[in-house]
Amino acid sequence: MTARSPGQQSSPAASDANTLGDGRWETGAGPQRGRRPLRVAGCQFDVGPSIAANLAEILRLLQAAAVQGARVAHFPETALTGYAGADIAATADIDWGELHAATATVCQAARDLRLWVLLGSTHRLSTGVLPHNSVYIINDLGEVIDRYDKRFCTGITEPEPQRDLRHYTPGSHTPVFEIDGYRASVLICYDYRFPELYRDLKRRGGELVFQSFHNARFSREVYEHQNLWREVVPGTMIGHAACNHLWISATNSSTQYSLWPTFFVQPDGQITGRLADHETGVLVSEVDPARPLWDAPGPWRERAWSGELHSGTLVDDPRGRDRTSY
């Protein structure tokens, strides 16, 4: 049930650096150099409609993560409640009292194991208001210190809400928090289609993104013959990691048929490990600030943020202004 992400890559000699084109090697980030590596456990399991069954799996995986020295355990979207429209028919089916007690049990486990937990769940709002699709950020004292609510819920609203928007209210808050000196944040599933979110996190000083997905419980036909997500999701996450120099943990439910398994990406865009399809497991990956990692857009990223969309120095030349000759 366990996989490890191998340590990868040492920097080339300085004379070799130009063979990679423009960019720079990065070690650490800002004033926090010298930090110890952070071990992240990406956890996947067969998320279902039973809070009690989901809780039992979560507690078992927390133990497994702790045994392997993880500081953080990261779970898929709606791991505790099940995902409305797939695992459960609707959020109205959730027993809120049972959910509250189960969440308290996870918090106690986090405290007992001295483990941070990113817990996919559903957050109840006032009567008559659809809940949030959320990830609770639980520290190693068992305290919920913040919560991320999925901002981009799937579907459309006209002529009537569809898909996620039939079941959930979108959020607007961007949590940025520190784990052992690393600045981290959370995103959920369909958020990955919006690169603006990753650029915003980078501008806020983010280094590590925990992204929880539920791309599961599809038909065998979709899994075997129409599974564009198997390439699109990892490929897109590679792009977000490499363009923004971010570590990304991407977790998914393993319920058949799951379109892709949990994986981890380092800031140069390399996937360092992934789990197997349809198997409960823990992927232990290491955020190592001492490992030199290539940051291709690094020299020009902040200038691009300001709207100066070129590298180097522009010149005002008559042959440059004439765009119809050659």
CATH class of 33-295: alpha beta
Confidence of residue 290 (pLDDT cuts 50, 70, 90): confident
How far is residue 251's CA from residue 274's CA, in Å, rounded to a whole number? 10
Tens of pLDDT along 70-105? 999 999 999 999 999 999 999 999 999 999 999 999
Mean pLDDT of 295-314: 94
**In the chain, where are the structural domains located?**
33-295
Q: The pTM is what?
A: 0.91
Mean pLDDT of 185-207: 97
How far is residue 45's CA from residue 251's CA, in Å, rounded to a whole number? 10
Residue 29: predicted pLDDT: 46
pLDDT-wise least confident of 2-11, 23-32, 166-175, 193-202: 2-11
How far is residue 8's CA from residue 293's CA, in Å, rounded to a whole number? 9
Q: In the predicted model, is pLDDT for residue 172 greater than 50?
A: yes
Confidence of residue 14 (pLDDT cuts 50, 70, 90): very low
Q: How far is CA 266 from the centre of its chain?
A: 12
Q: Provide, for the chain, the percentages of residues in helix, strand and coil under a 3-state DSSP scheme, each rounded to the nearest 5.
A: 30, 25, 45
